[in-house]
Amino acid sequence: MIRFIKATLKTLFVLGTLASISAAVVLVWGYREFTGPGPLTTEKTVIIPKGAGVIQIADQLLKEGVITNADVFRFGARLTAEGRQPRAGEYKFGTAASQRQVMNKILEGDTVIRKFTVIEGETTYEVLEKLDKMDGLEGVITISVREGELLPETYFYSWGDTRNSMVERMRSAMQKTLETLWLKRAPDLPYKTRREALIMASIVEKETSLDSEYPIITGVFINRMRIGMKLQTDPTVIYGITKGEGSLGRGLKRSELKGKTPYNTYVIDGLPPGPISNPGKAALAAAMNPATTKYLYFVANGKGGHNFAETGKQHLRNVAKWRVIERGIRKRRKKK
């Protein structure tokens, strides 16, 4: 109020008494109009376009029903902005927000924060397809991104950010995470580069959803690599068929398990030529520091995890248990 009055007193000083009284009345009314409760009865989201000045913003807020008097908003903004400029973006105004509160929010750039989540195990195709449909982002994705280069995480953004900038952030986050974990890796791993560790993590990510199993499953695959045994992991075969562009939607056929693709680890030796998903931090950490174990096999246990075995005989018993569970699941599905 004091700043508002001082800014006007200089003008009043040179006016006559009657004019001064009238101006004072207008001033008090204007102040109340500027600081009093606004017209909103519910929250309102408004997008202020780039390049908009106070005049255009005031007109827009009036049209949107956020304020009741555009002239008061303009006058108040000029008196109290203190050199600050309005910022473009998406703003959410609360119930009965005063014109001063609305103005301060825009001058401070207190925009709505949106979020975009990359889920562990999503392929790059799936991530980019989802990103392409996100509201509030601008531009098409022109950056070339390979499989496994995007770190699963929740990323925050504001209206008007570009899709390319989001991709760069996700890729940079993956690079930094890989660099940090690689420096802390266990000795004598059967892979020599960060990319090979990334490939391993991407496979482990698709094999289980339990963080506690990541190091164990990594240990199984490493044990297989050390004795020259094929990895024999279904997710790599599926990736060779779908190229990461969606779910297979069915079980693998025997002919597909024998098919010669670069990703069929039932046929090729060692790791496939590239990642099959975007692994999260837990899977990446497991690839760098696997559990020390003698396990060579694992199969689903019907409870969301796996049964592990050191010998083929033990594994066959676990597989038999899983087949019984699997048949029960199929019967229940048929009944439904």
Beta strands in 201-305 (DSSP E): 297-300
In the chain, domain spans = 2-106, 114-174, 186-335
Q: What is the mean pLDDT of the chain?
A: 90
CA distances from 111 to 94, 293, 335 (A): 13, 51, 51
Return the closest-CA partner of residue 141 out of 177, 112, 169: 169
Query: How far apart are the C-alpha atoms of 198 and 151, rounded to whole Å?
Result: 11
Tokens of 200: 């391993």
Helix (H) / strand (E) containing 150: none
- The CATH H-level superfamily of 2-106 is Endolytic murein transglycosylase (3.30.1490.480)
pLDDT at 24: 62
68, burial (CB in 10 Å: exposed 0-12, middle 13-18, buried 19+): middle
Q: Are 279 and 121 in contact (CB under 8 A)?
A: yes
Query: How far apart are the C-alpha atoms of 85 and 78, rounded to whole Å?
Result: 10
Residue 261's SS3 state is coil
Query: What are the phi and psi torsion angles at 114 (to 5°)?
Result: -95, 165
Query: How far apart are the C-alpha atoms of 185 and 289, rounded to whole Å?
Result: 6
pLDDT at 8: 52
Give tens-digit pLDDT for 291-316. 999 999 999 998 889 999 999 999 99
Q: For the chain, how many residues are written?
A: 336
Residue 91's SS3 state is strand
Query: How far apart are the C-alpha atoms of 96 and 62, rounded to whole Å?
Result: 14
Return the closest-CA partner of residue 308 out of 294, 322, 298, 296: 298
In the chain, which stretches have pLDDT less than 70? 1-27, 30, 336
How many other CB atoms are there within 10 angstroms of residue 270's CB atom? 15
Q: Are 11 and 3 in contact (CB under 8 A)?
A: no
Compute the 3-state secondary structure of the chain and give helix, strand, coil in percent, each to the nearest 5.
Answer: 50, 10, 40
What is the maximum span of the chain, computed from C-alpha positions, in angstroms? 106
Alpha helices in 81-233 (DSSP H): 99-108, 124-132, 163-183, 194-207, 214-226
pLDDT at 12: 47
What is the DSSP track for 185-196? PPTT-S--SHHH
Query: How far apart are the C-alpha atoms of 140 and 137, rounded to whole Å?
Result: 9
Tokens of 125: 């195709």
Q: What angle do CA 200, 206, 277 make, to 5 degrees?
A: 70
- Residues paired with 308 in a beta bridge: 298
